[in-house]
Structure 1
Amino acid sequence: MRDVFLAKGFAAASLDELCAAAGLNRPSLYAAFGDKEQLYISMLRHIGEKSVEAMDAVLSGPEPIEQRLGRIYKGAIDIYTRPPNRPGCIIVGTATVEATSHPQIGAAAHQILAGFEKAFERGFANSDLKPAPSPAERASMAGAILYATGIRARLGVPAADLRVFTRSMIPVICR
């Protein structure tokens, strides 16, 4: 289902495509999720929870924070530029489009992005960086770079260029 939403977005993904991807018929899909919007939100939350767990694992590591950030960005770029369709970030690439007309989607996406920034904040708090800017301020910058990378990937920027971009931003975040 994630791949259908990534390829088509929320609005253009048909129930038939989603049912086929899930291996369910319509009544089973409705029984499990209620409607397409709740299915989408459930999928977003699942991806968000797994992503925050993975970020926490990397950001709590023993390496210098610059290396931990590099690993986060490399992992994101690998996902965002995966062939054949270079999906970018599902939250930034699809949820933001729906946020104004589907407030529940917007709220779920906002909550997930806040989770990303909290993971970054924990990582910065667990580093030897100077106290200013604060871990929260650094986390906001790190999140913005992550979101910009997702947008650029979806627009077709090559992975090599995305790596140059993120590597150039790490010293800015960590200074």
Structure 2
Amino acid sequence: MEQKENKRARGRPRAYDPEQAFSSARDVFWRSGYAGSSLDDLSAATGMNRPSLYAAFGDKHALYLQTLDRYIEASRQKMDQILAADLPLAQALQRVYDLALAMYLPSGDDARGCLLIGTAATPAVADIEVRDRLGDGLRSFDQAFEIRLQQALEQGELAAGAEPALLAKLASAILHTLALRSRAGDTRASLEATAAAGVKLICGA
């Protein structure tokens, strides 16, 4: 009796979209933090098994660092785009804060704050690579504000004697407040009022 040979197709790695995978992993870290995000969580979110995750991104730590890098870069690009637009200083600052609040308090979802501040501050104490990214990210946002504030000073939008570098840190501090207080349960109306007061303070300096 002739037996038929059963041939199995050689397994092929599942195709994946790197952008979608990073987006899914980012949301896991954003929701649960670094320590609270397990490999099983990341695998489920990305649709990739552990070997595939390791092959594509390295271990969880490497994936987290890459996620932070991409978040910082994307946030800086959005800030630069808004602040470089032909808008009065107050309007430009308000748009940055409006964008931040849309991220920190997504419509129809739980408050999540800022990925960088909300997830990196705790591991940064013992992890130099996370600490470097946290510091570099915050300074990058300071720089974006400072460039626009320096321009505002030169164009007479700020009072003579205003210090763009210090005002930039104040502008960033408002972002930090919005991020933390959104996670703490402050209402959108309260946070919008805080942002508006911050804009008035900076522009009146």
Matched, 1:78 2:102: yes
1:130: how far off? 3.0
Matched, 1:103 2:159: no
Find the counterpart in structure 2 of residue 112 from structure 1.
Answer: 137
Matched, 1:13 2:30: no
1:133: how far off? 2.7
- Partners of 1:74 and 1:15 in 2: CA distance: 33
Q: Deviations over 1:1-58 (max 9, x none)?
A: 1111111110010101111222221112112222111111101110110110000010
* Aligned partner of residue 99 in structure 1, secondary structure: helix
The one of 121, 124, 136 equivalent to 2:149 is 124
Between the two proteins, what is the percent identity of the paired residues? 38
The one of 108, 111, 119 equivalent to 1:94 is 119
**Residues 141-152 of structure 1: matches in 2 within 5 Å?**
141-152=170-181
Q: Is the 8 A contact 1:80 1:89 kept in 2?
A: yes
State the structure with bigger RCO (CA 8 A, min sep 6), 1 or 2. 1
Structure 1 length as normaliser, TM-score?
A: 0.95
1:131: how far off? 4.6
1:122: how far off? 1.2
Which amino acid counterpart does residue 197 of structure 2 have in structure 1? Answer: S
Q: Which runs of 5+ in 2 are unaligned?
A: 1-24
Find the counterpart in structure 1 of residue 61 from structure 2.
Answer: 37
- RMSD, aligned CA: 1.2
- Partners of 2:90 and 2:161 in 1: CA distance: 16
Structure 2 length as normaliser, TM-score?
A: 0.82
- Partners of 2:188 and 2:111 in 1: CA distance: 10
- Partners of 1:102 and 1:131 in 2: CA distance: 42
1:109: how far off? 1.4
Q: Is the 8 A contact 1:56 1:119 kept in 2?
A: yes
Q: Is the 8 A contact 1:37 1:105 kept in 2?
A: no
The structure with more helix, counted as a fraction of residues? 1
Q: Which runs of 5+ in 1 are unaligned?
A: none
Which amino acid counterpart does residue 154 of structure 1 have in structure 2? Answer: R
- Partners of 1:49 and 1:117 in 2: CA distance: 14
Find the counterpart in structure 2 of residue 56 from structure 1.
Answer: 80
* Aligned partner of residue 12 in structure 1, secondary structure: coil
- Partners of 2:52 and 2:132 in 1: CA distance: 26
